Amino acid sequence: MKQITLPTLATVVALIVFSIPSAAKTKVEVKDSQGKDVGTITLSQQGSGVVLKLRLHDLPPGQHGIHFHQNPKCDAPDFKSAGPHFNPDSKKHGLESPEGHHAGDMENVVVDVKGNADVTLEDKDVTLGDGAHSLFSNGGTAIVIHAKADDMKTDPSGNSGDRIACGVITK
């Protein structure tokens, strides 16, 4: 008769814990057009999308458009080097667009009267993994904060105005 040995409970638990993939997470340093630090945005993979934890300061109060942009560049003072919105499916701009929206489109961020924003946003159309919707797919992307609120429908950028802050997203 052949003897079968069973693994200990500790071995089974260790195998389970180490086989679960760790959640992807990356921290983005955000600078204004003068190169001054205005905070951080922590990106975390959650389900099929990405959660953004914004901790921003020294920004103009009010609503501001915030988008993922195609290029991993943030050349001051205008941040045009970040390119257009991240849009792997070639859709129109705006969360309210009947023709779909850019993967990089998100809800506006509200900055309080003291110039701070400590908020959480979610973008269900991007990932920190692999594939066309990955924020790392082009060697990285950028996250840009605009001067005005995004109207959620006007192509290509929601009339959100100048780019006032930017951070590069890379592995």
60, amino acid identity = P
Q: How far apart are alpha carbons 128 and 147 in whole angstroms?
A: 27
Residues annotated as part of the active site: 67, 69, 85, 93, 102, 105, 146, 163
Q: What is the DSSP string of 17-52?
A: HHHSPPPPEEEEEEEETTS-EEEEEEEEEETTEEEE
Asked if residues 170 and 153 have their Cβ atoms less than 8 Å apart, the reply is no
Distances (CA, A) of 125 to 4, 76, 98, 128, 135: 48, 27, 16, 11, 10
